[in-house]
Amino acid sequence: MSVRTLFIGMDGATFTVLDDLTKSANGGEPVMPFMARIYAEGSRAKLRSTPNPLTPPAWVSLMTGRGPGYHGVYDFIRAEEQGDDVYFTLYDARDCRVETIWSIASRQGKSVCALNFPFTAPPPSELNGVIVPGFIPWRHLRRNSYPENIYERVKAIPEFDPQELAWDFEREKQSVDELSDEDRENWVRYHLPREKQWFKVAEHLMREDRPDLMAILFDGVDKLQHQAWPYVDPNLQHGELSGFHQRMRELSLSYYRQLDGFIENLVKEAGPNVQVFFASDHGFTGSTEVVRINAWLAEKGYVHFKELPEGEAGKRRDSTNFAFLDWSKTTAYCRTPSSNGITIRVARKPGETGIDPKDYDKVRTQLIRDLEDLKDPETGERIISEIHTREDVFPGSAMDDAPDLQLVLRDFGFVSVRNLQPVVQPRDYVIGTHHPDGVFLAWGPGIEAGKVLGRRHITDVTSTLLYSLGLPVPSDLEGKVPTAMFTEDYRAKHPLEIGEATRGSVKEERGETMDAEERQQLMDQLQMLGYME
């Protein structure tokens, strides 16, 4: 028996890079020859991410077929205001309010194997298959994997190293905003063996278990591109390149060569009848400026800062997000760089800080105007190219947890929440940032060859995978099956069926997935990747 559906996630993959790496260079073989075959023999489309193209909301949307307005995951962390304090808590699988594809497929008799996907820990109590989660410290893989014996099985793989498999905070501390040349090289080298570990686990479990749905996420694409974007963006490979630039580019390309080999081997192992799908949670582009959004809101009177004490105490408070905000006067602010959102503080009862609920629409309308006024003094171009209300982009039962306003910067970068001047400052060098258009590809029996479709939406992936598995698509999924990806003969033999609505998520009452020290380490890691400050 062979795998019926193989899904390969590539965090942050973009056609900007893949198109370049699948072309023959100077008559030679492409950097990614197998992906070039996928291009020629399969179908592909740009994949529009969630309104905030960020790992947590995007991957959860891909795994559920529902937008953040329903599943309720908006960021790496969620915040809760209590008086003059803001408390941060990491999101995990228990925060997802809707059913995932792993559960939908399992309860209909299909076996699944999901490797390295974020927000799959803690695992569900009932699953027909295997989950080894991503986005957790390696020491917690054993108790957050399912079933209970899976860690012992994986540990028996030759050269298995859990510290390479999962997040190693000490190694990943290399990913700061400004790295030395040596650190940048080490950052790329670090991800080569880590991806190999996940490949070996996937190959081993596919060979032994032959699940109906085999899914693996390679997240090194995103992490590499954050620090190595100038060396992989084909639009920046011109003129006389420095020796370091050439060395970094070749090192980065070695990562993609290795990934291409992993993909080819997984497809071969899956068997001749497998349908293969690829998707990313978002795309990538270059960010050229820093936008200090809370500093701008302070100039407009929404944010108020306390006077910091001198000495070490002042430095410590200044290094935290909100220890220096005057909550008695602050009415609207941005919580994290990764949120790219503005939270309006509304008083829930008399005596609480925040605006009067009846003034909400008036305050928000004026806030939008003030954000639109942030412009480039030389060109007059708006720095914030798009401003969306939450009811426009996050409709659903979980909308109240969304930012009141969602921002899109003109270079797609993440905002800064630090109280520094100037409000807008050019970067010393281009860094990688998320773009809303990711990738979606399909290949195998029943897939149209060489077809390029119009833009699809990230929620379409769940519906497509369920259709490939021969299962009905639940009626309440937002995503639609791109039937044009499939041949006319395949569609005739496999008519699309719309089935019953999903059952919602099952809330698991389990202990913490991480202790306080490990949660802080993860916060630090998010800071180093630019998602926190």
Q: Collapsing DSSP states into helix, strand and coil, what is residue 135?
A: coil
- pLDDT at res. 172: 47
The residue range of the domain holding 382 is: 288-432
* 368 and 456 belong to one structural domain: no
- Contact between 315 and 293 (Cβ < 8 Å): no
* Alpha-carbon distances of 199 from 5, 14, 31, 219, rounded to whole Å: 17, 21, 19, 12
Cα(117)–Cα(392) distance, integer angstroms: 28
- Is residue 383 in a domain? yes
Whether residues 419 and 521 share a domain: the answer is no
- Determine the Cα–Cα distance for residues 416 and 324; give it in Å rounded to an integer: 15
Tell me, rounded to whole angstroms, the distance of Cα 56 from its chain centroid: 5
- CB < 8 Å & 24+ apart, contacts of 484-490: 484/43, 484/448, 484/451, 484/453, 485/43, 485/45, 485/442, 485/447, 485/448, 485/451, 485/453, 486/446, 486/447, 486/448, 487/446, 487/447, 487/448, 489/446, 490/445, 490/446, 490/447
Q: Are residues 415 and 522 in the same domain?
A: no
Domain boundary among 396, 412, 432: 432
**Token reading at 443:** 């290949």
Q: Would residue 125 count as lying in a domain?
A: yes
Do residues 350 and 440 both lie within one domain?
no
Boundary residue ending a domain (432, 458, 488): 432
Q: Flag whether 401 is in a domain.
A: yes
Q: Is residue 407 part of a domain?
A: yes
Q: What is the pLDDT of residues 173-197, one digit of tens each?
A: 444 445 667 777 777 777 778 899 9
Token representation of residue 499: 């089935």
Contact 486, 470 (CB under 8 A): no
3-state secondary structure (DSSP) of residue 502:
coil
Residue 117 near residue 133 (C-beta atoms within 8 A): yes
Quote the number of domains for the chain: 2
Q: What is the CATH number of the domain that holds 47?
A: 3.40.720.10
84/23 same-domain check: yes
533 part of a folded domain: no
Measure the CA–CA gap between 126 and 146, rounded to whole angstroms. 9
3-state secondary structure of 9: strand
- pLDDT of res. 379: 95
Pair (192, 292) in one structural domain: no
Indicate whether 116 and 262 sit together in one domain: yes
Q: Is 452:441 a contact under the CB 8 Å cutoff?
A: no
Residues 464 and 505 in one domain: yes
Distances (CA, A) of 52 to 374, 390, 455: 20, 11, 17
Nearest to 368 by CA among 388, 349, 352, 354: 388
Is residue 25 classed exposed, middle or buried when 0-12, 13-18 and 19+ CB atoms within 10 A define those classes?
exposed
**Reduced to 3 states, what is the DSSP secondary structure of residue 314?**
helix
The reported pLDDT for the residue numbered 184 is 72
Contact assessment for residue 141 and residue 162, using Cβ atoms and an 8 Å cutoff:
yes
Has residue 518 been placed in a domain?
Answer: yes
Only one residue has tokens 């791109």, namely 482
Q: What is the pLDDT of residue 70?
A: 97
473 and 522 co-located in one domain: yes
Task: Let me know whether 67 and 118 are in one domain.
Answer: yes
Q: What is the pLDDT of residue 317?
A: 56
- Rounded distance between C-alpha atoms, residue 226 and residue 422, angstroms: 24
pLDDT digits (tens, 9 = 90+) for 89-148: 788 889 999 999 999 999 999 999 999 999 998 887 779 999 999 988 777 888 889 998
Of 432, 454, 489, the residue that ends a domain is 432
Low-confidence ranges of the chain (pLDDT < 50): 169, 171-177, 508-512, 527-529
Same-domain status, 35 and 88: yes
Nearest to 438 by CA among 324, 279, 305, 207: 279
Given this model, what pLDDT does residue 511 score? Answer: 42
Which tokens go with 399? 């909308």
Helix (H, G, I), strand (E, B) or coil at 167: strand
Are residue 171 and residue 306 in the same domain, yes or no? no
The C-alpha atoms of residue 227 and residue 156 are separated, in whole angstroms, by: 34
- Geometric angle at alpha carbon 494, from 493 and 500, rounded to 5°: 150
Nearest partner of 304 among 330, 322, 328, 323, judged by Cα? 330
